Amino acid sequence: MINATDKQLAWRRAGVLGRRLSSRLLWGAVTLLCTTGIVFSLLNLAGDPAQAMAGEKADKKTVEQVRVQMGFDRPLPVQLAKYVARVARGDLGESSFYRRPVAELLLQRLPFTIALALGGLLVWVGIGVPVGVFTALRRDTWIDRLVLVLAVLTYSVPTFWLGRMLQHALAYRHAWFPVGSFGGPANLVLPSVCLGLSGVGYYARLVHTNMVDVLPSEYVRTARAKGLTEWVVLWRHAFRCAMLPVVTVLGLDAARLLGGVVFTETIFAWPGLGSQMVQAIPNLDIPLVLGTVLFAAALVVVSNIVVDLLYFWLDPRLRDEGLV
């Protein structure tokens, strides 16, 4: 490393990044494969897809006809392999209930889910992070303790209960917000709060802990010794370093966000992917449920890779790992 030129170093860095990225992609593929297998097995355990497709009152003959027609009579591993092969070609199949391509159904609902997830994320980060910074600066005061209690409370409240309470208090008792469904930006407020509130307390505490770790560190003192204003010391020096672990957790929490989306969409009749999937389960609409789960799993894998790359960019020390 000592004798390497800057250009050689840049190449080696690119190599490290490339290896890291390819191993992440490989693990991502394995994750998706396992997810598909598990969900596929669970759905087949839950009921008879042929019966569900033919209708509850259909006679035996019709059900058997559907079974053969749809290939439900083949052994499960064969069905699974066929499904995986089709997905690998980019085809998610056709919904057995709506009789339309799964990809089309997903894309139709996707914008609503994205809007809700971003709303929830905004509540997590937009409230949680400033509160965490603030309480770190007011450490061990009454307001810090109050926020701690509130954080534990909001973190512990289940989404479905919170959703109902928000609807009751802010949409029914006081008609400040629409109860549910989609109409305009105002419709997004309650679902976003419902989805995001549990994360607010969590992120406030996470940011608090990391700030409290970083604030007494020597480089923060050096920044003050240079005569920088408290504002610059706080954000450019302390906050920037305190956010490194927070970003990691955010990436891992993409899964939690999507899980919360399923509950929230159902409570608020939000026309997104989650509510569509919840409706598809009793219909035993295997292609649609599988497609949705696969899509969500892919989102989690991608968000983890993005966070990994982001971390690489945020923490310069990582770029030189394994170079010496």
Nearer to another protein, 74 or 319 (CB): 319
Among 73, 91, 104, 320, binds another protein (CB under 8 A): 320
172 binds another protein (CB under 8 A): no
* Per-residue contact flags (x/-) with another protein for residues 231 to 270, judged by CB under 8 A: -x---xx--xx--x--------------------------
Output the smallest distance, CB 207 to another protein, in A: 16
The region of 106-114, 124-132, 273-281, 308-316 touching another protein under the rule CB under 8 A is 308-316
Nearer to another protein, 39 or 232 (CB): 232
Output the smallest distance, CB 312 to another protein, in A: 12
* Per-residue contact flags (x/-) with another protein for residues 6 to 35, judged by CB under 8 A: x-----------------------------
Query: Could you tell me the CA-to-CA distances from 115 to 16, 191, 247, 261, 305 in Å, in that order?
Result: 35, 10, 21, 11, 22
Q: Which of residues 179-218 bind another protein (CB under 8 A)?
A: 216-218
Nearer to another protein, 189 or 228 (CB): 228
224 binds another protein (CB under 8 A): yes
For residue 266, give the amino acid letter: T
Nearer to another protein, 100 or 226 (CB): 226
Nearer to another protein, 17 or 302 (CB): 17
150 binds another protein (CB under 8 A): no
The DSSP letter of residue 3 is S
141 binds another protein (CB under 8 A): no
Nearer to another protein, 63 or 228 (CB): 228
* Per-residue contact flags (x/-) with another protein for residues 68 to 87, judged by CB under 8 A: --------------------
Nearer to another protein, 24 or 224 (CB): 224
DSSP secondary structure string, 38-88? HHHHHHHHH--HHHHHH-TT--HHHHHHHHHHHTTTS-HHHHHHHHHHHHH
Nearer to another protein, 61 or 231 (CB): 231
Say whether 221 sits in a helix, a strand or coil: helix
Output the smallest distance, CB 222 to another protein, in A: 5
Q: Which residues bind another protein (CB under 8 A)?
A: 6, 216-219, 221-229, 232, 236-237, 240-241, 244, 314-317, 320
